[in-house]
Amino acid sequence: MKCHLGIDLGSTTTKAVVLDEAGQVLGRGITNSRSNYDVACEVAKTEALLDARFHLFQDTLAGVPDVTAHAQDFLSCLRNVFRYEQHVYLLRALEENCRAQAELRDDARSYLPALDRIFAGLRERAADLFAPGEKRRSDFFRDVAGSDYMAFAEKVAEELDLSFDRLLGLFDKSIIAVESHVPSSSLQETIERALSATLTEFPVTRRLKERLESAVLESIDISLVEVATVGTGYGRARLPFPRECIRSEILCHGLGAHATFPGTRTVLDIGGQDTKAIQIDAHGIVTSFQMNDRCAAGCGRYLGYIADEMNLGLHELGPLAMCGKKPVRINSTCTVFAGAELRDRLATGQRREDILAGLHRAIMLRAMSLLARSGGIEEEFTFTGGVAKNEAAVTALRQLVEDNYGQRTLNISADSVYTGALGAALFALRMGSGRERLALERATTGGAA
């Protein structure tokens, strides 16, 4: 099956989207690997292809009679078990690396047993983490394993009278190597293992099990052929793609938003490090844009600082802010002062919820300025990026848009973090089909009038 890939090297995460020949999304992948760009791309791509694989399973199963009723449940089980297998696999790699790191020092004798205990605990945790219905704090191995590792390490350090920092250091030194490990070669094996594990537990008849198994195995054999790949990403001195396969992230974002919501004419993207306001025409072509990439005020990173200051998870900020009754007026979203301003206000007795509500509004005010600079919101409007998942941010935005522009349709897609990668993939599709190349040739030789 021919497919087209778009990869978006963001500041904190790398995303990939796979499209089929008709331009339908086959799969999406995301990683927060801090490794070099090449590895991050590989990992994201693999994840996306894996996701595509699962979609293929779904399609295949849809064609098998009797099975359709159970297909959904089965696949989600399979996915979960697969994730578990992956996690266990990565845990093994992590353990190996940690032990290797520990052995570099003389006190290995004390620390190796500590590691034994920690990893035993982590393996037990894994089963719980991936039990059906469990919601994890994050889908990234680094986050999931990291927080648990810290918890176990703390306990073990105390019990065995060892240095907690040293144990943490072992993790820090090992995690990158683990993240860089691209699991493509073991994919087949892992799927098969997950498959058999899932089948064992799945409560259906043996006949049905056989049907499911053969359908999945059949599907695994379908090869996914990459016809074209386009990469995008902000401010990379060097993206790991040939020059003709790179598109600006502004254009990718515009096109991606257009593909998701064809009626949209304005796109607001608030990422980790920058904010973009983009105007597009009816074809998804960018007509103007404005960026704030000089300071973190109004970007996702700002929320990160606040979360750290308040000792909360990033995803907890929104819900808390929604409980604010009297939003506090925050005059500046300068991250340099974020901590001080917060402590100040908490000290004067202002409620956390009210302060957070005020902060969210302040961030969206910055976004509003940027939108105004780029030309305002004439019609339908799409909000993308990590911050778009934040309910309080969205609420503040809706209010501000209404106050300043009147009623506007506001689109938010659950998969909005993939907008850039989707746009890139669409460019790849055009490249693959030769349409774009043709149009560009005409443009430069024939020349516009």
Partner 1 sequence: MRTAIAREASMDRQKAMIADHFRELARAKEQGRKVVYTFVPGNLTELMLAFDVLPVHPEINALQSGMRKLSGEFIGEAERAGHSEDVCTYVKCDIGMMLKGNIGPTGEKLPEPDLLLLSYTGCFTFMKWFELLREKYRCPVAMLHVPYQADGEITPSMSTYVVQQLERDVIPKLQEVTGKSFDVDRLRELLACSARAEDDLVHVLESAKHRPSPIDAYFGGVYYIGPLFTAFRGTPEAADYYRLLREEVEARLEKGQGPVTPEGILDDERFRLVVEGPPNWTHFREFWKMFYDERAVVVASTYTKVGGVYDTGFRHDPARPLETLAEYCLGCYTNLSLPARVDMIVRYVQEYAADGFVINSIKSCNSFSAGQLVMLRDIEERTRRPGAFIETDLVDPRYFSASNVKNRLESYFQMLSQKQAVQA
Partner 2 sequence: MELREIVRECERLYEDLELGSVRRWKEQNAGGRAVGYLPTYVPREILHAAGVLPVGILGAGEQLEIVRGDACFQSYICHLPRSVMELGLSGRLDVLDGMIFPSTCDVIRNLSGIWKLQFPAKYARYFDVPQNFETAVGGAFYERVLRELVDDMGRLTGRPPKECELRRSIRLYNENRRLVRELYELRAREPWRVPASESYLVLRAGMVLPVEEHSQVLREYLDEARAADRKMVDNARVVVTGAFCEQPPITLIRTLERAGCYVVHDDFMLVLRWLGDEVDDSDDPIGALRAAYLGYDEETSSRYVPDGQAKGAKLVEAVRANGAEGVVFAAPSFCDPALLDRPMLQRACDEAGISHTAFKYSENTGQLQPIREQAGTFADTIKLWGEA
- Binding footprint of partner 2 on the chain (CB under 8 A): 294-295, 329-332, 337, 340-341, 344, 365-366, 368-369, 372-373, 400, 404
Collect all residues with Cβ–Cβ distance below 8 Å to 243 and sequence separation of at least 6: none
- Smallest gap from Cβ 185 to partner 2, in A, equals 49
CB of 1 to partner 1, least distance (A): 28
Contact string (CB under 8 A) for partner 1, positions 278-297, x = contact: -----x-xxxxxxx-xx---
The interface partner of residue 316, options being partner 2, partner 1, none and the CB cut-off 5 to 8 Å by kind, is none
Query: Considering CB distances under 5 to 8 angstroms, the limit depending on partner class, which of partner 1, partner 2, none binds residue 187?
Result: none
- 340 near partner 1 (CB under 8 A): no
Distances (CA, A) of 182 to 41, 75, 98, 171, 307: 10, 23, 18, 19, 31
Binding mask 55-74 for partner 1 (x = CB under 8 A): --------------------
Instruction: Provide, rounded to whole angstroms, the least separation between the CB of residue 342 and partner 1.
Output: 25
Give the Cα separation of 358 and 327 in Å (integer): 5
Reported in sequence order, the residue ranges of 10-84 that DSSP labels E, i.e. its strands, are 14-20, 25-31
From the list partner 1, partner 2, none, which binds 192 (C-beta under 5 to 8 Å, kind-based)?
A: none
Stretch that binds partner 1, among 119-127, 206-214, 344-352, 441-449 (CB under 8 A): 441-449
> Within a 10 A sphere around the Cβ of 411, how many other Cβ atoms?
18
By beta-carbon proximity to partner 2, the closer residue of 171 and 381 is: 381
Distances 107 to 92, 94, 154, 218 between C-alpha atoms, Å: 22, 19, 18, 51
Query: What is the nearest approach in angstroms of partner 1 to the Cβ of residue 270?
Result: 16
Q: How far is the CB of 10 from partner 1 (least distance, A)?
A: 13
Nearer to partner 2, 16 or 268 (CB): 268
SS3 4: strand
- Footprint of partner 1 on 355-394 (CB under 8 A): 373, 375
Among 3, 151, 31, which Cα is nearest to 418's? 31
- Residue 380 DSSP code: E
Give bridge partners of residue 288 from the DSSP assignment.
Answer: 279
Separation of alpha carbons 49 and 224, rounded Å: 8
Q: CB-based contacts of 177: which residues, under 8 Å, 6+ apart?
A: 93, 97
Interacting residues toward partner 1 by CB under 8 A: 234-237, 247-251, 283, 285-291, 293-294, 373, 375, 436, 439-440, 442-444, 446, 448
